[in-house]
Amino acid sequence: MDDIWIRKEGRAGRITLSRPKALNALTYAMCRQIDAALIGWAGDPDVALVLIDAEGDRAFCAGGDIAEMYATGTAGDFDYGRRFWADEYRMNARLAEYPKPVASFLQGFTMGGGVGVGCHGSHRIVGESAQVAMPECGIGLVPDVGGSFILATAPGRLGEYLGTTGARMGAADAILAGFADHFVPEAAWDDLKARLIETGDAGAVAARDAPPPEGVLAALRPRIDRLFAGDTLADIARALAEDGSDFATGALKALGRAAPLSAACTIEMIRRLRGGATIRRALDMEYRFTFRAMEHADFIEGIRAAIIDKDRNPHWRHAGPDAVRTEDIDRMLNPLGADALSFEED
């Protein structure tokens, strides 16, 4: 079977990710196919809404398939990754700005590239198994695929916390942070999908909405807002170390697994976007980092440690939060000039 199944069913344009053994990891070809379908359906009167789901119980999509990026990057070819990211980001923007309802069903792991496909539509549905996260700092990237937009518009300082630690969110927490809209028990998903396909009426989602199981972020908000209020990564790391609570100790440990340059740039991106975030502004800033990530950041080393050698012992460019300088951040986030992300097709 192909990695993705795209078809029209009833009143819906339907996209099903079909790589369950790979946790539906998103390939470059899948990105291009999704984008082409969205373009084709935008003006199709037979398509009232878009339905995005995935096969398997473990994951909607656990991230991007980055093996080819690693292979090309280690060979000194940075163009493949840049093309992948640019095309993926255009697809993310198209989903966020789509003129028709987009309903996504997010079971299990929804991380990284999965957030880009599943968390920008108008009706984002989570169930009991939801585990949503942006763990990119742990592989030398920043929260991308429009994730920085969601983080910058999350309540309080949840964006800094979720973006730098990669903390996983269950259903209630994903809704609170802005990654999802509706909790629908997973036993009801097949009936809801059938209703959407038959009627093309996205209002059917709200009719099935139910209270999610209690999350953890709401109770932690005051502490997160206080400890993650610093202007820089070093400020936040110091606040966590000085607090010494179980939460702070755990957050500091998670922060310690992130590439310092990535975490520092994530904080700066959220600060720049907050109060004026749009999906295109966020994707443009993300692309400034990812365009440079193989050559000037820790992406290659992060993938080596996590995916290739699996030694979980990355050797980051910076020894810790205090080692990242303002000029290091600016080097990654300065405008790209002629290489800037375009939202028009190349």
Q: Is 345 inside any structural domain?
A: no
Q: What is the pLDDT of residues 15-34, one digit of tens each?
A: 999 999 999 999 999 999 99
The domain total for the chain is 1
pLDDT at 346: 52
pLDDT at 139: 95
- Residue 223 — φ and ψ, nearest 5°? -70, -45
Q: First and final CA of the chain: distance in angstroms?
A: 30
Q: Is 156 inside any structural domain?
A: yes
Q: Is 101 inside any structural domain?
A: yes
Residue 229: give its domain's CATH number.
Answer: 3.90.226.10
pLDDT at 345: 65
Q: What is the average pLDDT across 32-52?
A: 98
Sign of the Cα torsion 319, 300, 120, 166 reads negative
53 membership: H or E segment, kind and range: strand 49-54
Instruction: Report the alpha-carbon distance of residue 64 to residue 67 in Å, rounded.
Output: 9
Q: Is 344 inside any structural domain?
A: no
- Which positions are catalytic? 64, 113, 136, 144
256 pLDDT higher than 70? yes
Q: What is the pLDDT of residues 189-227, one digit of tens each?
A: 999 999 999 999 999 999 999 999 999 999 999 999 999
Q: What is the pLDDT of residues 258-288, one digit of tens each?
A: 999 999 999 999 999 999 999 999 999 999 9
Q: What is the average pLDDT across 102-126?
A: 98
65 pLDDT higher than 90? no
Residue position matching structure tokens 């369950």: 20
Instruction: Report the alpha-carbon distance of residue 332 to residue 248 in Å, rounded.
Output: 28
Q: What is the pLDDT of residues 69-79, one digit of tens each?
A: 889 999 989 99
Instruction: From residue 346, give the alpha-carbon distance in Å to each of 302, 324, 343.
Output: 30, 35, 9
User: pTM of the full predicted structure?
Assistant: 0.96
Q: Is 64 inside any structural domain?
A: yes
Q: Is 346 inside any structural domain?
A: no
Instruction: Report the alpha-carbon distance of residue 127 to residue 114 in Å, rounded.
Output: 16
Domain of 79, in residue numbers = 4-339
